């Protein structure tokens, strides 16, 4: 259950906006809202995840504070969104991670780093600080250890994310069977990959401040595609290792390294841009309870990309061992916190966009019938 105050705030928002509807030309939230007359809690949860937090509607609202109706869609929806992250989290008790998330992620990162470094120096002794011939990572950490730890943690996180997604899906009133709708999946994928809802026909959106710009969209693209590119690099690396049996470190012009480098650069530019925007945001529409979480995620991504790129550059040097352990420490922290941090926004927003795509096809079906 949403806390009463937040539920009331959400209902007030829906009542005023639904009687007004001036924002219907903006994002998916508004068209979705118009197809409903009453709003139950699960509708609010769905709408909250559909909102991309772009800010446009706040600045154009004639009822935004100091007006007595006090309408602030991005902030209200952000608060509800944070609550849904806890609601869908699995296993349930870990939902607590969403309060003071920033602190938690930082502490965890520190703990993982210390543990990794301790373990590595215990196992390797002074070899940790000596250059390794050919920059071979596996001389520092055996491949089996790396593969085992990361696949165990990674699988757990993937499972947690999947369960969270399914919980969201059920809460939004859908059944599992509606998931397999190719048209809707295609439309949703397009919305996710293009961030269409932040675009407003090319004008961009009011983030970080009132004046519309495409900055958020481009920096998010850099981050997202950078992340994806790194994922591809890792997968290719695994294929090289297991399928082709190439066990040495891949060369500078090999596909994994190219993808990793391009992705790494995206993951430097994107998060730095997002960080700058984050600092410049209009505080009036920010749910401060999430600032720590937002920041922790961006900084973690940045630390991963920087340590990764350094590792690539300095892999022949004596720093390689430490850099590798540090880099892996950050990646491990990301893996561990994915289901319990900012990362989940992508999961639930994609789910919301999928549901929206489904609703649109149903509406046009109904119209065709009528």
Partner 1 sequence: MTDDLSGIDVLVVGGGNAAMAAALSAREVGASVLVLESAPKDFRAGNSRHTRDLRCMHDAPTNVMAGAYTEDEFYKDIQSVTGGQTNEQLARMTIRASATCTEWMKRQGVRFQRALGGTLQLGRTNAFFLGGGKAMMNAYYDQAERVGIRVVYNAEVVDLKVEDGKFESATAMVAGKPVEVRAKVVVAASGGFEANLDWLKEAWGPEADNFLIRGTPYNKGKVLKKLLENGVESVGEAKQGHMVAIDARAPKFDGGIVTRLDCVSLGIVVNRNGDRFYDEGEDFWPKRYAIWGRLVANQPEQIGYCIIDSKAMGKFMPSVFPPDTAQNIGELAKILKLPVEKVVATVKAYNDAVQLGTFNHDVLDDCKTSGLDPEKTHWALRIDKPPFYAYGLRPGLTFTYLGLKVDEHARAQMKGGKGARNIFAAGEIMVGNILGKGYTAGIGVTIGTVFGRIAGREAASQALHPVETRKDTKVEEFVHAAD
Contacting residues toward partner 1, per CB under 8 A: 15-16, 18-26, 31, 34, 37, 56-57, 59-63, 66-69, 200-201, 203, 210-211
In sequence order, the β-bridge partners of residue 213 are 205
| Of residues 49 and 333, the one with the C-beta less far from ligand SF4 | 49
Nearest by Cα to 168 from 6, 44, 14: 44
17 near ligand SF4, judged by CB under 6 A = yes
Residue 363, CB-side half-sphere exposure with 13 Å CA sphere? 11
| Of residues 59 and 225, the one with the C-beta less far from partner 1 | 59
State the binding partner of 102 from ligand SF4, partner 1, none, CB within 5 to 8 A by kind. none
User: Minimal distance in Å, beta carbon 143 to ligand SF4?
Assistant: 44
| Of residues 23 and 87, the one with the C-beta less far from ligand SF4 | 23
Instruction: With beta carbons less than 8 A apart as the criterion, state whether 174 and 355 touch.
Output: yes
Q: For the chain, what is the largest distance between any 2 Cα atoms, rounded to a whole number of angstroms?
A: 77
Neighbours of 40 (CB within 10 A): 11
Q: CA 336 to CA 339: how far, in whole Å?
A: 7
State the binding partner of 31 from ligand SF4, partner 1, none, CB within 5 to 8 A by kind. partner 1
Instruction: With beta carbons less than 8 A apart as the criterion, state whether 241 and 247 touch.
Output: yes
362 near ligand SF4, judged by CB under 6 A = no
User: Minimal distance in Å, beta carbon 207 to ligand SF4?
Assistant: 8
In total, the chain counts a number of residues equal to 370
Total number of residues that touch ligand SF4 (CB under 6 A): 24
58, with CB counted inside 10 A (0-12, 13-18, 19+), is buried
Contact pattern for ligand SF4 over residues 39 through 78, marking x by CB under 6 A: ------------xxxxxxx--xxxx-------x-xx----
Q: Using CB under 6 A, which residues numbered 191 to 220 contact ligand SF4?
A: 197
Neighbours of 174 (CB within 10 A): 18
State the binding partner of 294 from ligand SF4, partner 1, none, CB within 5 to 8 A by kind. none
State the binding partner of 362 from partner 1, ligand SF4, none, CB within 5 to 8 A by kind. none
User: Minimal distance in Å, beta carbon 52 to ligand SF4?
Assistant: 4
Q: CA 224 to CA 282: how far, in whole Å?
A: 24
Q: Would you state the structure tokens that stand for residue 154, as one six-digit string? A: 């990674």
In sequence order, the β-bridge partners of residue 205 are 213
Cα-only R_g, the chain: 22
Contact pattern for ligand SF4 over residues 23 through 42, marking x by CB under 6 A: x--xx-x-------------
Q: Would you state the structure tokens that stand for residue 106, as one six-digit string? A: 């930082």
Out of 16, 147, 232, 299, name the contact with ligand SF4 by CB under 6 A.
Answer: 16
State the binding partner of 29 from partner 1, ligand SF4, none, CB within 5 to 8 A by kind. ligand SF4
State the binding partner of 37 from partner 1, ligand SF4, none, CB within 5 to 8 A by kind. partner 1
Q: Which run of H or E residues covers position 55?
A: none
Instruction: With beta carbons less than 8 A apart as the criterion, state whether 36 and 43 touch.
Output: yes
| Residues within the interface to ligand SF4 (CB under 6 A) | 16-17, 20-23, 26-27, 29, 51-57, 60-63, 71, 73-74, 197
């Amino acid at each position: 259950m949403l806390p009463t105050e937040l539920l009331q705030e959400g209902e007030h928002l829906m009542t005023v906006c639904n009687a007004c509807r001036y924002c219907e030309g903006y994002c998916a939230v508004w068209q979705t809202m118009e197809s409903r007359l009453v709003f139950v809690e699960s509708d609010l949860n769905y709408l909250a995840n559909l909102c991309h937090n772009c800010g446009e509607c706040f600045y154009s609202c004639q009822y935004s504070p100091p007006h007595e109706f006090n309408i602030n869609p991005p902030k209200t929806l952000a608060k509800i969104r944070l609550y849904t992250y806890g609601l869908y989290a699995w296993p349930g008790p870990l939902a607590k991670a969403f309060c003071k998330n920033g602190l938690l992620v930082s502490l965890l990162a520190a703990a993982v780093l210390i543990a990794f470094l301790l373990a590595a120096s215990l196992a390797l002794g002074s070899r940790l600080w000596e250059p390794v011939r050919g920059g071979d990572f596996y001389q520092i950490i055996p491949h089996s250890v790396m593969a085992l730890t990361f696949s165990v943690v990674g699988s757990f996180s993937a499972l947690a994310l999947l369960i969270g997604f399914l919980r969201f899906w059920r809460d939004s009133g859908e059944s599992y069977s509606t998931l397999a709708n190719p048209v809707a999946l295609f439309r949703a994928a397009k919305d996710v990959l293009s961030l269409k809802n932040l675009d407003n026909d090319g004008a961009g959106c009011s983030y970080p401040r009132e004046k519309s710009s495409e900055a958020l969209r481009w920096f998010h693209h850099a981050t997202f595609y950078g992340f994806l590119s790194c994922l591809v690099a890792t997968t290719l690396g695994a294929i090289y290792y297991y399928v082709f049996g190439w066990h040495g470190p891949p060369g500078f012009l090999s596909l994994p390294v190219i993808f990793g480098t391009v992705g790494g650069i995206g993951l430097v530019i994107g998060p730095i841009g997002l960080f700058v925007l984050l600092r410049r945001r209009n505080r009036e529409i920010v749910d401060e309870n999430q600032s720590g979480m937002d920041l922790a995620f961006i900084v973690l991504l940045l630390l991963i990309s920087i340590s990764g790129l350094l590792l690539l550059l300095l892999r022949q040097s004596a720093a390689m061992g430490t850099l590798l352990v540090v880099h892996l420490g950050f990646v491990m922290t990301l893996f561990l916190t994915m289901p319990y941090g900012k990362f989940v926004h992508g999961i639930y927003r994609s789910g919301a966009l999928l549901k929206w795509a489904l609703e649109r096809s149903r509406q046009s079906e109904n119209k065709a019938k009528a």
